[in-house]
Amino acid sequence: MKSLDEIIKNRRSIRNYQPKSVEREKIMQVLEAARLAPSACNAQPWKFIVAESPDIKDAVVKEGLNNIAVPNKWAADAPVIIAVCSKTKFFVHNIAEKIQDVDYHLIDLGIACEHLVLKAEELGLGTCYIGWFRGREIKKVLNLPSSYKVECLITLGYAQPDSQKESPRKPLEEIAEFK
């Protein structure tokens, strides 16, 4: 069994996938990891829309990932694309966000996404967040209600061998301070 340290250290953004579908059981496990994430006021303001059927997935790529500043066409090879959506904000979130000036629902979604991504790594699956996309077009393709907003996409699948490039990180002294 992989340790949490190994999972965190080995995870990389994967943009190169094997043409192999992801078992439904594994998709359910990564979604379950997201479901268990904490959230402000336990609002759980998320919805995960799993695009796995080739028609829908191709439409997401064609309509949502073309003609943008950062072309994410590589996502066409991912067997699964998960649209991570926020639901129209809850009253408690609205009040708390105004008082604190913090976007709690985005923090919540970020935590849930990372649960999902780390679980995928544990299961031997690769992922990549996609922040550059056409949200309105993706909403249309996925036929989502107006109360949903697509906040990011996550690709999921088996990585091609040697597709794991390490990205540098700032040293700890630069990002943390003790007072």
**Interior CA angle at 130 toward 103 and 61, to 5°?**
130
Distance between CA 33 and CA 62 in Å, rounded? 29
User: How far apart are CB 115 and ligand FMN at their closest, in Å?
Assistant: 14
According to the binding rule CB under 6 A, does residue 70 interact with ligand FMN?
yes
According to the binding rule CB under 6 A, does residue 2 interact with ligand FMN?
no
User: How far apart are CB 167 and ligand FMN at their closest, in Å?
Assistant: 3
According to the binding rule CB under 6 A, does residue 12 interact with ligand FMN?
yes
Of residues 72 and 86, the one with the C-beta less far from ligand FMN: 72
According to the binding rule CB under 6 A, does residue 51 interact with ligand FMN?
no
Exactly one of 33, 34, 83, 128 binds ligand FMN (CB under 6 A); that residue is 128
According to the binding rule CB under 6 A, does residue 132 interact with ligand FMN?
yes
Contact in structure between 58 and 31 (CB atoms under 8 Å): no
Distance between CA 135 and CA 113 in Å, rounded? 17
Give the count of alpha carbons within 13 A of 31, CB side only: 17
